[in-house]
Structure formats: C-alpha cells, structure tokens
Amino acid sequence: MMAAIAAAKNGANVFILEKNERVGKKILSTGNGKCNLTNLDFSLDKYHSTDNRLLGDYFDRFNEKSTIAFFGECGLMLKNKSGYIYPSCEQASVVLDVLRHMLDVLGIKEYTEAGVKEVKKIDDRFVIKTVDREYRADRLIIACGSPAGVSNKDKNMPGISGYDIAKSFGHKIIDVLPSLVQVECEENFFNSIAGIRADCCITLFDENKAIARENGELQLTNYGISGIPVFQLSGLISRELNSGKKLYAVLDFMEELDEEAFAEFIKGRIHSFRGETVENYFLGMVNKKLCSLIIKLGGLKPSDIVSDELAEPVFMASLMMKQFVVTIKSTKGIDSAQVCTGGVSLCEVDRKLMSLKEDGLYFCGEILDVDGKCGGYNLQWAWTSGYLAGTYASLE
C-alpha cells in the first residue's frame, strides 16, 4: 500500500493484486491490535539484514520522522508512548482504513482474491497471472511479506509465495526463519516454573562465547522462555541454530548487582541465615517457584539447615539466581512468529530497491532479508522500503 501510494503520488497508474479477500490484513494484528507503527529510538542495530550499510542508506531517505509526517498528511493522529508510536485511537484497523482511504483518493485499484500464480517478462512488460486473470504492467513491485503469523485460512488462498516469484527471476532466497518468537529449551524442569515473569538479563552463548544480550521482562513457560528480551534474541537464535550452532542462555535475575557485589551479598546472607532453613534463606530473593527449583537443582532440601558445612553448596546454589543456565532447543515455528528473518538478499537489489536480476522489478517490506526488533521497527521498514520502491518505480 505504501509503495502504491508513493507511486501514484508520482503520477503512475497503479493497481494492487492481493491474494486475500482484503488488503493489509496483517496490520490488523500488529501491536496487539493497536499497531506500533514506528519508534523514535531509531538505530541500525535494531535491524538485521544482509547489508546494514545499504539499509542505513534507505533509512537516510525515509525514516521514522518521514513516517510520522506521512501519516500526519493522511490525517492519522499519533500517540508517543516512550518513543513507541501508535495511532492516537490505538486501533490498528484505523491505520489500515487510513491507508485504504489514500488508495481510494489516488484512484489505486485493489484486486482482491487475486493471488499471483506466475510472473513473466514479455516484450519489456510484466505479465502477471492470477487465479483467473492476466495483468500487464511496466513495473512490478513485489511486496508479498513473509509467512510469519499468517492464518491457515490465508495460507491456503491460491497464489505462490513472493519468494517463488523472486526465484523465477533468478533471485536466491536467504533461509526464511522465524523471528520475534518464543524459544523452546531442553531442560525438563520448565513445568515447575511456568508462569513466572521476572526482570532478567539474558546472555546468549555459542559454545563459550557470549554473542548477544537483552534485558527486560522474561516469561518462563512450560516449553522454555518467552517475553520481549527473548523475542529480541530469537532471530539470531534461529539463524545460529540453522547454521548448526549449539546455544545456551544464561539468565541473570539479579542484574542490579554485579558479580562481585552479588557474591558479597550472598556470603553476608548465608552468615545471617545460619541456623535457619534453606527455604527461609532463599525466601524473598527471587520468585518462590524459582527458589524451590534452585534448591532442588543445587542438591539441597528446603528443610536443610544453613550451617558451616552447607555454606558452600548454598553459595553455589545461590549463584543460579545470577547465572541460571538453559539449553536452547529451537524457536517456536513461523506460525507463532511476528516476522521472518531471511528472504531476498539486499545484495541483489540496488539503492532504488530494484532487482539486480531484472529491470523494472522492485521489492519492498518483509520479503527482503531485513528484520527488525520488536517495537515498530518492522513496520518502519515496510514504510521505508515501500515508499522508496514506489517512488523509484514510478520515476524510472
């Protein structure tokens, strides 16, 4: 829609082919139905892509301020929640309505239930076959998104994937994997701590090397870990597991104390709880269910008495509050994910988002190998790339 609007504003005659019964359905589920459409805290490290230098070049030309200005011009009032930008009415459906209104104002035709089945270039024009019709166009923008979060019903609508269209023009597709998704762990104790939500610092390790770190509210579930910090790490986890790496994560529930201060604190606490039960020693430090598990994993019993003899095992068990190790098994699948990492490589498009394989063919949005963190960054990429692809496609 953004690409269509940008192209039509430049005077192009534009139409949209959409395989669903209506355009823009994914927008409706964004931001828990409120649509977090961009974020004022922009930096390139919020993104993963094939080429972050080229990515920066796109954002230099259309960024979060441009998004705010664009929606302002469309008449959408916005709300700033600590940098996270939402429509003031907090209704994702209104964002879609406003975009559709713009399509209407600009005379852009929407063909729905028009899943593309084949695209060919014949005599310098694109011939696009849908289920029941054939369309011709001088320029073609592929904005087919990713399979993340698509319902089974929509998945079964006729039409091939955007990746297959790209492949038919000689593009290579970087492995499409789930991102912004929950993570399953190997350990069999998760049932006992499911439901806990706790502020936590998560460090991801590949062998003995820390490769990423995130803070925020962790959610422990019966299969593993979830919550924003886990989502933020999940794209990297998908890619690393896909390349055969073995990963584990260290959960720090005591991030406000550095290691030295924590060790001092623990020693002092062991001293002051001498003669009391291990259960009472742990009580009040972290979530109760986690205390019980740590006592068990530490080879202790709740009724054990803190004593000189037990000082060492109690100390070692206590360290788990700062270094709780979990082994990563997999991420949840693409159906559970908000976005996908992978897609059409940025190495195969130019500054105008035109294919380096086929003149007049453009890409925008999630079909490209660009994925952002949670917080409005993926829609920002959709707006940025849509605006640029639409603008350049109409200028060429």
Ligand X SMILES: Cc1cc2nc3c(=O)[nH]c(=O)nc-3n(C[C@H](O)[C@H](O)[C@H](O)COP(=O)(O)OP(=O)(O)OC[C@H]3O[C@@H](n4cnc5c(N)ncnc54)[C@H](O)[C@@H]3O)c2cc1C
Q: Which residues bind ligand X (CB under 6 A)?
A: 17-20, 25-26, 29-31, 35-36, 115-116, 143-145, 148-149, 159-160, 162, 338-339, 365-367, 376-379, 382
Cβ nearer to ligand X, comparing 206 with 358: 358
- DSSP conformational letter for 277: B
Q: Are strands 361-363 and 125-130 parallel, antiparallel or unpaired?
A: unpaired
Cβ nearer to ligand X, comparing 30 with 394: 30
Distance CA 378, CA 174 (A): 18
Distance CA 241, CA 391 (A): 38
Cβ nearer to ligand X, comparing 163 with 324: 163
- Three-state secondary-structure class, residue 353: coil
> For the chain, first and last CA: distance in Å?
19
Cβ nearer to ligand X, comparing 130 with 394: 130
- Closest contact distance (angstroms) between CB of 186 and ligand X is 27
- Closest contact distance (angstroms) between CB of 47 and ligand X is 11
Place of tokens 């790490």: 233
- DSSP conformational letter for 91: -
- Closest contact distance (angstroms) between CB of 54 and ligand X is 17
Nearest Cα neighbor of 116 from 91, 73, 95, 145 is 145
- Closest contact distance (angstroms) between CB of 23 and ligand X is 6
- Closest contact distance (angstroms) between CB of 259 and ligand X is 36
Nearest Cα neighbor of 249 from 285, 220, 284, 222 is 220
- Closest contact distance (angstroms) between CB of 179 and ligand X is 10
Q: How far is CA 135 from the centre of its chain?
A: 34
Cβ nearer to ligand X, comparing 151 with 272: 151
- Closest contact distance (angstroms) between CB of 184 and ligand X is 19
The three state secondary structure string of 102-116 is: HHHHCCCEEECCCCE
Cβ nearer to ligand X, comparing 293 with 379: 379
- Three-state secondary-structure class, residue 354: strand
Cβ nearer to ligand X, comparing 224 with 372: 372
Place of tokens 């001293």: 271
- Closest contact distance (angstroms) between CB of 375 and ligand X is 7
Token digits for 350? 């130019």
- Closest contact distance (angstroms) between CB of 117 and ligand X is 7
Cβ nearer to ligand X, comparing 26 with 239: 26
Q: What angle do CA 332, 336, 338 make, to 5 degrees?
A: 115
Nearest Cα neighbor of 86 from 101, 76, 100, 98 is 76
Nearest Cα neighbor of 274 from 304, 318, 317 is 304
Cβ nearer to ligand X, comparing 76 with 314: 76
| Other Cβ atoms within 10 Å of 77 Cβ, number | 10
